[in-house]
Amino acid sequence: MVHYDYDDAFFVQKVDFDKGEFIMASDKVVQLTDDSFESEVKQSSVPVLIDFWASWCAPCKAIGPVVDQLADEFEGQVKICKLNVDENPATPGQFGVRGIPTLILFKDGEVVDQVVGAVPKNQLEGLIKKAL
């Protein structure tokens, strides 16, 4: 069963209670795993922004809709991805992710910049523009 969850800040997340997981609103967001990191990020022909998140993380839920909007707005220019840190611990460890949400921007397979926390959309837009 899919349910729309509204929190106090009026952020919306679609939740699949049968699977116990959040559903990304934008079909343009790529769901990464430790196994797909190499092919999706290191070998990408466009810059990649990864949102390191977890289902229990309130700030991750808050920034989720912003990440979805960025995927729509920067379609074809930047690949927007999400990586669940609980299900895929190797990649966050490789990049020293200690707090979530952490968003890391890659270009040509190398880290360009990163931010930690639920930052405003304009800050993420500025981050992305560094790689364009």
Q: What is the DSSP string of 25-37?
A: S-TTSEEE-TTTH
Q: What pLDDT was estimated at residue 12?
A: 43
Residue partners of 126: CB distance under 8 A and separation at least 6: none
CA distance readout (Å), 38 to 34, 35, 48, 103: 8, 7, 12, 17
Q: Please state, in angstroms and as integers, the Cα–Cα distance from residue 122 to each residue in 42, 51, 52, 66, following that order.
A: 26, 16, 19, 10
- Quote the pTM value: 0.81
Residues involved in catalysis = 57, 60
pLDDT in the model for residue 4: 40
Structural domains of the chain, ranges and CATH numbers in brackets? 27-129 (3.40.30.10)
**pLDDT tens across the length of the chain (132 residues):** 433 444 443 344 455 455 555 554 578 999 999 999 999 999 999 999 999 999 999 999 999 999 999 999 999 999 999 999 999 999 999 999 999 999 999 999 999 999 999 999 999 999 999 999
Q: State the chain's maximal CA–CA distance in angstroms.
A: 40
